[in-house]
Amino acid sequence: MAFLFRLLSCLPLAVLHNLGALAGWLAYLLSPAYRRHLRANTAQAGCASARNAAVAAAGKNLLELPKLWLRPQDEVVERVVQVSGWELVEAAWQAGRGILFLTPHLGCFEITAQYYAAHGPITALYRRPKQAWLAPIIENGRGVNVRLAPADLSGVRKLLKALKNGEAVGILPDQAPGAGEGVWAPFFGRPAYTMTLAARLAQTGATVIFAYGERLPYGAGYHLRLFAPEGDVTTPAGINIEIERLVLMCPEQYLWGYNRYKGKPE
């Protein structure tokens, strides 16, 4: 599998996205559970019209990873051909404040940390993959400026220390947390078990920036979009509202097959 990853990394991004679209449709057609989650989640959010594009985008998300993890860092960063909202980052630098990047499963969420890492260190929460062969590819591919914090108490301490030092931290705020690590909060009108960590980090006074990498057509690269929150992000419910706002900007590229609605509230 590692050899296949290295082979894929040599292909043009447009080819990887075409292959990814095919892989996305194969997964959708062959997996009843995945198909059920994707259809239910898009319907719940009122985004059924984005369903077909989202099926293809999920596959593109998977097939572009070898390119992002195994190519030289300069080449990866050059894939970001447009940036909107970078003034938010510069304002945080001027104020000497740490930055909390909240990046949902929207577009190419891998590119956001790597782009920032070209400008300064960023600590990202990280769950080691179950496949042993994949771990060194991920860990080495993210570069020296992307510091990985394990998804445990020691990792939380690393995130807090980075923010205290005025550095950046990155989290996927819509990732389903483990038991006891979240609360039930509305997400598109339905209770979803939502992490509390992102809201706790927002309470430190760090500059909160929502980010996603919009995947451009025909393998043209990515548009990094950065947004200041419009409401209160010191609560899980408030963060979910902000995530909804971002998702509705680009529903075709949200990872709708991800099961945000695991379990049932008490």
| pLDDT (0 to 100) of residue 262 | 82
Among candidates 168, 263, 180, which has minimal Cα distance to 209? 168
Alpha helices in the chain (DSSP H): 2-9, 13-30, 32-44, 51-63, 65-70, 73-78, 86-95, 110-117, 134-141, 153-164, 197-202, 236-249
| pLDDT (0 to 100) of residue 225 | 98
Average pLDDT over residues 50-73: 95
Q: How far is CA 5 from the centre of its chain?
A: 20
End-to-end CA distance of the chain, in Å? 42
Calculate what percentage of the chain has a pLDDT beyond 90.
82
| pLDDT (0 to 100) of residue 249 | 97
Q: pLDDT band for position 100 (50/70/90)? A: very high
Strand-pair partners of 101: 170, 209
Q: What are phi and psi of 111, to 5 degrees?
A: -75, -25
Q: pLDDT band for position 133 (50/70/90)? A: confident
* Residue 246 scores a pLDDT above 80: yes
DSSP 101: E
DSSP 216: P
Chain segment 144-169, per-residue pLDDT in tens: 789 999 988 999 999 999 999 999 99
* Residue 190 scores a pLDDT above 90: yes
Q: Count of CB atoms within 10 A of residue 244's CB?
A: 16
Report the C-alpha gap between 136 and 129 in whole angstroms: 10
Q: pLDDT band for position 179 (50/70/90)? A: confident
Residue whose tokens read 């050899």: 3
Q: Count of CB atoms within 10 A of residue 51's CB?
A: 17
Residue type, 87: E
Q: How far is CA 260 from the centre of its chain?
A: 14
Cβ atoms of 25 and 55 closer than 8 Å: yes
Average pLDDT over residues 179-187: 92
The bridge status of strand 222-227 relative to strand 207-215 is: antiparallel
| pLDDT (0 to 100) of residue 266 | 63
| pLDDT (0 to 100) of residue 201 | 97
Q: How far is CA 81 from the centre of its chain?
A: 18
| pLDDT (0 to 100) of residue 70 | 92
Among candidates 184, 168, 188, which has minimal Cα distance to 176? 184
